[in-house]
Amino acid sequence: MKALLALQEEQEQYILKTQREKQELRQEMVTKSQALKEAQHQLEKVQASRHRMDQDIAATQRKLRQTSTSFKHWNVQVNRLTHPVGPAERRPSLGSSGVPVVRVPSLRDPGLRMYHQRSKSEKEK
């Protein structure tokens, strides 16, 4: 009878130990499940943030290309406007034979007349 009681007590202790281990495993599983949910939530946030950043980068690159194109066009226009034109500078025009003909400005050319007047006044100083 003592052996049976001892065996019964041993089995009860084993059952209690097993139940405690089972409870600990359940608690660990709940904790890990919560950690997994939090990690998934953080991952979703990071993915959304990355997607927004990619869109912002694409928009910024588009604006940069547009600005660069506009700036180049503006720069070409400014260079054309600010290039000093001398009195004897003429663009060659093509004659009937296809050979460029350079025309020498005459004194009747108003730009040349202003140049001569300016150079005379500078010499007098």
Residue span of the structural domain in which 73 resides: 45-80
Beta-sheet strands, E only, within the chain: 93-94, 100-101
Is residue 60 in a domain?
Answer: yes
Q: 86 near 78, Cβ under 8 Å?
A: no
Is residue 25 in a domain?
Answer: no
Is residue 50 in a domain?
Answer: yes
Chain segment 98-116, per-residue pLDDT in tens:
555 555 555 555 555 555 5
d(CA 14, CA 101): 115
Nearest to 85 by CA among 107, 110, 122: 110
Is residue 73 in a domain?
Answer: yes
Is residue 3 in a domain?
Answer: no
Q: 103 near 93, Cβ under 8 Å?
A: yes
What's the domain count of the chain? 1
Range with top average pLDDT, 20-24, 93-97, 111-115, 120-124: 20-24
Is residue 16 in a domain?
Answer: no
* Measured torsion, CA atoms of residues 31, 33, 39, 42, in degrees rounded to the nearest 10: -100
Scored b (16 or more CB within 10 A) or e, 103-115 reads eebeeebeebeee
> Confidence band (pLDDT; 50, 70, 90) for 9?
very high
Is residue 113 in a domain?
Answer: no
Is residue 93 in a domain?
Answer: no
For the chain, the average pLDDT equals 80
